[in-house]
Structure 1
């Protein structure tokens, strides 16, 4: 499926065939498949890969309502991706690496503001590691953090909200119930599994 321009960073690869993967930032199985995709799929469909130009991967961030803090992670992923397209996948994997800090029980004493602060700290640490920060780190922190603030109305959203709504609408339209879920060229493919390794991905691609 296509993407609005504001979410173009969600696409990896350039192929006309499209694999949509629906991921919840606080789903352990979403984390598992993302690690496998990073190691086994992306090298095959991005520059220099065997299937370059044949398949694109589109990441559909799709938080489940029973993972209470996944909303804040989704907002942070949208804002970060819009600002730093080339590092979106790295931030996504960093989110998954730290996801157990935000599981329902672990995060029960955190406020929304504290959670957003921690997610922006993770983002600025990643930017620093990749030498993307010119000037004070605190300035970059403030710029990202400001975009996560609710300003439109007492019950309104932030700068991620419109794109967030789009992602939810697409998932609902396609009847996505669980994460991860895969859609190939518009049709659900229930064979794609978070347990896949190199052999399974290569067989599926062939």
Structure 2
């Protein structure tokens, strides 16, 4: 499983030793990513979780896909990574809330906000996961600019890792999906039960 230790919470379903891997590259402010996230949560994840048909056979990894043509994409992905570090068990629930509320982070709604104000909005969103005061404070600290003029924030290294991973795998847009490390271009954000059932039946061989 290609994940640096600090990003293990990006494994959102399945066991780390599962033989098959579904990597889902999502951008928090991409409407098609929102559609795919709902299919993953409602259709695929239950099949992979405990008691599901493919328990122990598939793991699902969330891959942060920053798309810089969306102005707030970087800020939202920093927030997701900060949650992964301070409250790993809340990462997927935060991601779903953010994807479902992504309209608030589109270009026009955020055009008059400063980066600090956008991060404050994201902290309020984190509260909706049931995060404690200590977790929210830790989240906020991770998203504070460092002392140097161009040093980024405390999750910048994790953000760099996710961007490099996408680039080396030739992933340019969201949503994109890898099955066992190979781009599965046939997978669509519009897939429902029938398509996912057929795909998994054909692909899972153990």
TM-score by length of 2: 0.92
Q: TM-score, normalised by structure 1?
A: 0.92
User: Gaps (5+ residues) in structure 2?
Assistant: 202-206
- Residue 14 (structure 2) pairs with residue 13 (structure 1): yes
State the match for 2:84 in structure 1.
81
Aligned position for 2:197: 202
1:150 matched to 2:145? The reply is: yes
* Counterparts of 2:87 and 2:193, CA distance in 1: 29
Contact 2:146 2:152 survives alignment (8 Å): yes
Contact 1:25 1:95 (8 Å CA) reproduced: yes
Within 5 Å, give how 1:116-195 maps onto structure 2: 116-128=119-131, 133=132, 137=133, 139-195=134-190
Taking the aligned partners of 1:5 and 1:92, their CA distance within structure 2 comes to 19
Q: Give the C-alpha shift of residue 152 in structure 1.
A: 4.5
5+ long unaligned stretches in structure 1:
none
Q: Distance in 2 between matches of 1:190 and 1:45?
A: 21
Displaced runs of 4 or more, over 3 A = none
How far 1:141 sits from its partner (Å)? 3.0
Partner of 2:116: 113
Residue 171 of structure 1: SS of its match in structure 2? Answer: helix
**Counterparts of 1:32-43 in structure 2 under 5 Å?**
32-43=35-46
Deviations 1:76-116 (A, max 9, x none): 10010112111211100000111001111121111100110
Cα deviations across residues 5-64 of structure 1 (Å, max 9, x unaligned)?
Answer: 100001121222111111111100001100111000000001111001111111110110
Q: Report the secondary structure of 1:19's partner residue.
A: strand
The answer to whether structure 1 residue 3 and structure 2 residue 3 are counterparts is yes
